[in-house]
Amino acid sequence: MSPETFAAADPATLVHAIETWRPAPPGKVARTPRVAIVHDWLVTYAGAERVLEQIIDCFPDADLFSVVDFVEDRTFLRGKRATTSFIQNLPFARTRYRTYLPLMPLAIEQLDLSGYDLVISSSHAVAKGVLTGPDQVHVSYVHSPIRYAWDLQHQYLAQSNLTHGLRSIFARLVLHYIRNWDIRTANSVDHFISNSQFIARRIKKVYQRDAQVISPPVDVDAFSLQEHKDDFYLTASRMVPYKKVELIVEAFSRMPEKKLVVIGDGPQMDVVRAKATGNVQVLGYQPFAVLHEHMRRAKAFVFAAEEDFGIAPLEAQACGTPVIAFGKGGALETVRDLSQPRPTGLFFPEQTASSIVTAVHEFEQQASRFSARDCRSNAERFSNAHFRERFVAYVERVLPGASAHIVNGAEQGGLEEDEAGTDVPLAAAGTGLKVLALDQSGVLGGAELSLLEIARHMKESIDVLLFDDGPFRIALEEAGVNVDVLDAPALHGISKQSGRPKLRTLKGVMSLVRETARRARHVDVIYANTQRAMVIGALAGAIARRPVVWHLRDIVSDEHFGRFQRKAIKWCGKLGLDRVIANSGASARAFADLVRSPRTPVEVVFNGISEAPFRLLDHISPASLRERLKLPAEAFVVGSFSRLAHWKGQHVLLEAALRDPQLHVVLVGAPLFGEHAYEARLRMFARTHGIEGRVHFLGFRDDVAACMRAMDAIVHTSIAPEPFGRVIVEGMLAKRPVIAARAGGVIEILDDGVNGLLCEPGNVKALADAIGRLKHDTILRERLVENGYEIARRRFGTSTYVDGVKRILAQAAERVTR
């Protein structure tokens, strides 16, 4: 009741009002709250403004604030005018507002928001820095912490020609001031929302705050599905350096038989046109109708940028067009790659022309796996309506009653269970042993698959920290494992064979060590899964005073490691490791010979491999699997399952195939670590020797079990000693006879003639003879399959593997708990 109504009411009405009155629940605003929406600057309609448009639709009665407002078409603002800062009236502000960046922190703080209950900032620069009081709730939707002030500072300075001179010094001082201001103002934000997991990690790194991920809205209704595709590829974006359009054009200049259409304009247009060959059509800027028509008709959309989120790949998928994207940043969250059911695209690992070329070839080989309807369905998860629903639900959760007056179809609702708030620290739930696992790679290699198995069984007690992003992070998240990524460019130039690192690399490594040590203080033991991760872990363990266990998955010899790397392993082994888990006796012996330190115990735990994926195929015939993979039904087919690399020896298998004109070879795997030239040599060998029709390149596959079941035999052809040989065990679980090279950990898995056949590494004749024996001796094949299956289940089961690793980690952790 208002005071006036109360005074005029009769006694009976007053009694009823008193009897039925209830106080507002704790934390609830008793009246409809006043809402303010703050945006950095209003000068155009781009990605951030699309988010703003939907936030306004969620809160149509909100007042709008911005540093400047020069927008002419106000449709997306629903006609609202923003309250602006003093910069609005400064000279040349309409066209050169960015030059006033040093004044923007002061300007945003002058906006008076004291009369509002809820403040929503849409920020990629300064909007989150508005001043709010203790009784106000500030929710900040962060498109990114100020990129050019943080990790992209050096790139920004270089592109702006500000690397030397007084202007450079002034720019660096301004950016330093903005960084300090940016961190300080983060404390006034009550709740952070990020547009992707990638930006959530950046927020965590910069502000030390957790963020709820709510993906930006995509107007999927503006794009229509087309299932029939024409024979051309498409890329479309603003032509600025980080979009890497020139790399895409360079890649297609190497593939003259494939057509590329380029849409967009910008500062790099001349560079792009200069690289374009006859098969590349550069259309420049085009209206939406032309862009839409090309997106609908293209066979694939190529995207080479590392974006915070990336709207264009989703717009392409809304048209039913699959995406070939760089496997970093937001694309990992919007494109479903071949490792997932119903894929909508695939990733390439490096921003290089050769990596794009390889990805295009792989796409064409896997084209039958992509469905236009699957692409459309994936894009619909990011619709405008879905964004509004999730955004309103989150705001209602942090300020109950805030959404009482909401219109335009934004309904209250709970967040999906797997996307609930991330305000709880990593591994907050559960008690007992706490483990910080480290891995240098975002790629799903053999070491990563083995760690994934451990993490699945220890998800209540393990946090995984990766030094690179990629499909491995996605797989861990889908398994329910706590995972975070530290972008580590310092490690990108280091390999097993590289020489002494440069000073800049060492500085980057020490930064990585400090961040890892900070996280390690909250756990009992550091568990390093790879060699570079081990060096970081050993140094971090010394700082944090935590034991370090290295899971050694390599044979530490001069065949696999350079001189500097062996020295690093030696001294870390002597001084920085508490225990070493080796995946085979061969790995353990090589480490012991190198380190010669009695203080570092080494214990062998064979990798554990789940039988479940193979058991699911028991009632599916190999013939139907071959039909699915487009392999010949009657031929004798042998398969190699490994990344394409020279030391893995796929060339030996192709040479052996020359000796049997009926033999078919299947290569499952892709070049992962800059080994694209080797794949090109394999393809050239097959063409040159006329066996191209008998060699099937299947690329990376997520259905390895099905591919193995489609083979007559599995071959493992490494020409250097293999630390373990995961593929061999998988082949035995697939109930297929296995041939492998007699070296390293392989001889601890196979007994020649009992559960597999062994031949000398790199010996083409021996390999061809072994394949011939299997091809013509049915009884031998049956005996090897029967024995191999039983041995694989007994010696290499998952429970034995996980229990062994858990036991060693617990023993190492006892040093902390004593």
* Residues 446, 594 within the same domain: yes
Among residues 748, 695, 707, 703, which one has the least CA distance to residue 726? Answer: 748
Q: Is the pLDDT of residue 108 over 90?
A: yes
Among residues 213, 234, 269, which one ends one of the domains? 213
What is the sign of the dihedral through the CA atoms of 27, 28, 33 and 38? positive
**Strands 637-641 and 757-759, sheet pairing:** unpaired
User: Quick one: CA dihedral 164, 168, 173, 175, positive or negative?
Assistant: negative
Check if the beta carbon of residue 657 is closer than 8 Å to that of residue 693.
Answer: no
Residue 240 and residue 173 share a domain:
no
pLDDT one-digit tens code per residue, 706-745: 999 999 999 999 998 888 888 999 999 999 999 999 998 8
Query: What CA–CA distance (Å, rounded) separates 43 from 97?
Result: 9
- Assess if residue 296 is contained within a domain: yes
Residue type, 283: L
Do 751 and 670 lie in one domain? The reply is yes
Residue 141 lies in a domain: yes
**Do 633 and 772 share a domain, yes or no?**
yes
Residues 466 and 533 in one domain: yes
The 10s digit of each residue's pLDDT in 524-541 is 999 999 988 999 999 999
* Contacts (Cβ under 8 Å, ≥6 apart) of 316: 234, 295, 298, 301, 322, 323, 375
- Asked if residues 457 and 435 have their Cβ atoms less than 8 Å apart, the reply is no
Answer whether 300's CB lies under 8 Å from 317's CB: no
Which two structure tokens, joined as six digits, stand for 581? 């888990």
Q: Is 61 a member of any domain?
A: yes
Q: How many CB atoms lie within 10 A of CB 77?
A: 21
Structure tokens at 275: 């690289």
Structural domain includes residue 280: yes
Structural domain includes residue 509: yes
- CA gap 747, 745 in Å, rounded: 6
To which H or E segment does residue 153 belong?
Answer: helix 153-159
Helices (H) and strands (E) in the chain, counts: 32, 25
- Write phi, then psi, for 492 (nearest 5 degrees): -65, -30
CATH value at residue 568: 3.40.50.2000
Could you tell me which of 517, 448, 458, 459 has the C-alpha nearest to residue 486?
517
Predicted TM-score (pTM) of the model is 0.58
Give the chain's mean pLDDT.
Answer: 86
260/327 same-domain check: yes
Instruction: Report helix, strand or coil for 549.
Output: strand
> 42 and 115 in one domain?
yes
Is 55 within 8 Å of 389 (Cβ atoms)? no
> Is the residue at 427 inside a domain?
no
Residue 421 pLDDT > 50: no
The answer to whether residue 546 scores a pLDDT higher than 80 is yes
User: For 495-530, how does the pLDDT look when each residue is reduced to its tens digit (9 = 90+)?
Assistant: 555 555 556 667 778 888 999 999 999 999 999 999
pLDDT of residue 444: 81
- Residue pair 733/615 in contact (Cβ under 8 Å)? The answer is no
pLDDT tier at 338 (50, 70, 90 boundaries)? Answer: confident
Question: The CATH number of the domain where 124 resides is what?
Answer: 3.40.50
What's the whole-number mean pLDDT along residues 97-113? 92
473: Cβ contacts below 8 Å, ≥ 6 apart: 332, 442, 466, 483, 485
- How many residues appear in the chain? 818
Residues 480 and 591 placed together within one structural domain of the fold: yes
pLDDT per position as a tens digit, 740-781: 999 988 999 999 999 999 999 999 999 999 999 999 999 999
Of 213, 248, 282, the last residue of a domain is 213
Digit-coded pLDDT (tens) for 221-242: 889 999 999 999 999 998 888 8
Dihedral angle at the C-alpha atoms of 105, 108, 112, 115, nearest 10 degrees? Answer: -110
Residue 603 lies in a domain: yes
Query: Do 568 and 494 lie in a common domain?
Result: yes
Kindly state the percentage of the chain with pLDDT values over 90. Answer: 55
Measure Cα distances from 256 to 250, 278, 429 in Å.
Answer: 11, 8, 55
CA 62 to chain centre: 36
Q: What is the pLDDT of residue 98?
A: 85
With contact defined as beta carbons under 8 Å apart, do 264 and 199 qualify? no
Q: Are residues 576 and 673 in the same domain?
A: no
Question: Of the candidates 185, 213, 241, which is a domain's last residue?
Answer: 213
Q: How far apart are CA 569 and CA 585, in angstroms?
A: 18
pLDDT in tens, 674-695: 678 899 999 999 999 999 999 9
pLDDT band at 560 (very low <50, low <70, confident <90, very high): low
Give the whole-angstrom CA distance, residue 622 versus residue 711: 8
Region 390-414 average pLDDT: 67
* Domain membership flag for residue 425: no
Residue ranges making up the domain that contains 576: 435-608+801-817
**Residues 597 and 629 placed together within one structural domain of the fold:** no
Cα R_g (the chain), whole angstroms: 30
Which pLDDT does position 8 carry in this prediction? 41
Maximum separation of any 2 CA atoms in the chain, in Å: 107
Number of structural domains the chain divides into? 4
Q: Which pLDDT value is given to residue 347?
A: 94
Whether residues 273 and 181 share a domain: the answer is: no
